[in-house]
A and B are shown apart, each in its own frame.
Chain A
Amino acid sequence: MNEPRALLNLNNLSKTYGSNRVLDNFNLTIFDGEFFTLLGPSGCGKTTVLRMIAGLEDTDTGNIQLDGQDIGQVPAEKRPINTVFQSYALFPHMTVFDNVAFGLRMSGVAKEEIAPRVTEALEMVRLGDFAQRKPAQLSGGQQQRVAIARAVVNRPKLLLLDESLSALDYKLRQQMQIELKRLQRKLGITFVYVTHDQEEALSMSDRVVVMNKGKVQQLGSPREIYEQPANLFVAKFIGEINQLDGEIVEIDGNHEYEVKVEGLKWRLHAEHNFKVGDKVNVLLRPEDVRVEYIDDPHPDQYLVGTVVERNYKGKTLDSLIRLPSGIEVIASEFFDEDDPSFDYSLNQKVAIKWVPGWEVVLPYEV
């Protein structure tokens, strides 16, 4: 496999609105051909980054390089970059065809080339029969697809998508996620996607950057971000997570530690360097927590908790279990078809454990 080629470099981008620092020395490299996602809560600066790449927003400091060329001074209309806007922003007075043809006409593409390219783009989003409709005559999902066709028809080097699926209902959104991914593979265009929906980010992206307060929190593959969150913010923002308090009691070397959690000593692995006495957060995904009947024989050590809530989710059974310290742990378990008695009653005492190594140990934060 070839070394990925850097397509876009963002260097030291900063932006301040009044006293609000939206972006703070932001650095990022996006590779050619990847599906890249900017993920973060609203107000984290992800949309500002996107608008800067598009050229719709000025930078206070820093520069943007596309293919090694500084494009900071290039106006939006001259950048080989197109955007699928959150609001779609289709031109209401033009037909679907004219909307999609707009970019081609603006860049002076030959007349006889426009019609086939527009038709091809509309076929690609399965709207071939809708060319002569006005945007108002289309459903939200169809408008969304027109917006995508209108952008990709220009064959941009970079396609920006701003929360493009957030206005669609759940079912349609899932369907569009798959379609977008398929489209991206087919076209080979680099996609930069902005979303606050972590599920969307994980399922579509090759790489994700998690942002908060104008700063990069973590950059990595969806799997890295989910399984090895760099800090508590990332851990909590991506999916659900249980947070236990611990204290380092012994260092076994090579990132192995004896950690006291809920009164018991556990041998845990951590990427960080700790010293004895350090307070830590021990984080566990709900699906990594094992719940067992307390009467069964247990070769390993376990925590004892009381079931305070049972939540039937269809695929899984989610139990809320209160530990003696008062901390509540969510455990998400798949149904075992072979065990018809698999269920807990409220107030039942159960044993809790997890597969060693599946936990994440981070420095203590409130």
Chain B
Amino acid sequence: MKSSAGQFRFWAIGLASVWLTLFVFFPNLLVILTSFLTRDPQATVSLPINADSYVRTLDLLYLQVLWDSLRMSLLAMVFCLVVGYPFAMAIVSLPKRWQPVILFLVILPFWTNSLVRTYAIQFILGNQGVINKALLGLGFIDKPLQLLYTQFAVILGLCYILLPFMVLPLYSALEKLDVRLHHAAKDLGAGPLSRFWHITVPLTSPGIVAGCLMVLLPAMGMFYISDLLGGAKNLLLGNVIKTQFLHTRDWPFGSAFSVILIVLLGFMLWLYFRAARFVSKQGGLNGSDF
């Protein structure tokens, strides 16, 4: 007879496995299969099996989109890191009882739908938006600046939506950082900047990589941001996929792009786990306190 703990484990793992099989494994399998089929106006997709869709993605136009969206996502990632790292350090330096409050405030915007928040950015950046009105009113400019429907707007939108995903892993990495290592580094002659580069950064590298991936991976696919803020010119990979499925109705081609995106993201995750393994072999500190 099984113990109740054993039964619980059986059902918990069983349910999770069924869920993952039905809603993750099969859909992805279908996407991969679809990417090797042929577009069919009547039946959506049909045989024969071929790799034409993949060949078509090599078109210069799409490579340009891939490159553009990668660049915008990377810029958003770098910006989030540059803003998020000091921010997370500031949270960690606060008294313990204030930290959850600030973290709560970081998460609070999630309570509003991100689409709604993106529209809000539209209102702020538009020709009749808050920024332009203010600048015009103060006399700094004569005619409105073109802020909306630019690459800048897309990157700003990505940063705004994704910044919490950078801050949270950085916070958890910095929070675990042992202050005694800083004392040791200080004792050995390392000034504030050296301590940051030689101790803080390497030891929080899993948090840095995690945060970067959490920004970069979704950024590539966030089509509504570029739809609302980027206009027709500044496309993300997500826009291409959306267009292929909803407008052009070329499912194999859309699927091929999806597969490329997944492989790209998988590669980045692999990099992350390598970085995490590099630091997880920790030691050299015993439990007692200085």
Enumerate chain A interface residues (CB-CB to B < 8 A). Answer: 47, 51, 54-56, 75-78, 81-83, 85-93, 99, 102-103, 106-107, 134-138, 140, 143, 146, 150-151, 154, 162-163, 166-167
Contacts and interface: CB of A to CB of B under 8 A. Distances in A.
A93 B186 contact: no
A107 B189 contact: yes
A92 B178 CA distance: 11
Contact of A87 (B185, B186, B189, B285): B285
Interface residues of B, number: 29
B113 interface: no
A47 B183 CA distance: 14
B286 interface: yes
Contacts of B198: 91, 102
A143 B190 contact: no
B281 A92 contact: yes
A92 B282 contact: yes
Interface string B181-199: 1011111111100100011
B283 interface: yes
A93, A135, A143, A167: residue with the most chain B Cβ atoms closer than 10 Å: A93
Interface of B: 178, 180-181, 183-191, 194, 198-199, 202-203, 278-279, 281-290
Contact of A56 (B186, B191, B281): B186
A138 B202 CA distance: 21
Given A106-B190, A140-B286, A167-B288, A89 B183 contact: yes
Nearest to B182: A89
A86 B282 contact: no
Given A91-B199, A162-B290, A154 B188 contact: yes
Nearest to A160: B187
A166 B284 contact: no
B188 A82 contact: yes
Given A51-B290, A78-B189, A106-B194, A92 B283 contact: yes
Contact of B183 (A56, A143, A166): A56
A92 B285 contact: yes
A151 B198 CA distance: 17
A77 B191 CA distance: 6
B283 A87 contact: no
A135 B185 CA distance: 16
Nearest to A133: B283
Given A102-B198, A135-B283, A93 B290 contact: no
Given A102-B198, A162-B290, A91 B284 contact: yes
A47 B290 CA distance: 8
Given A93-B279, A135-B284, A87 B191 contact: no
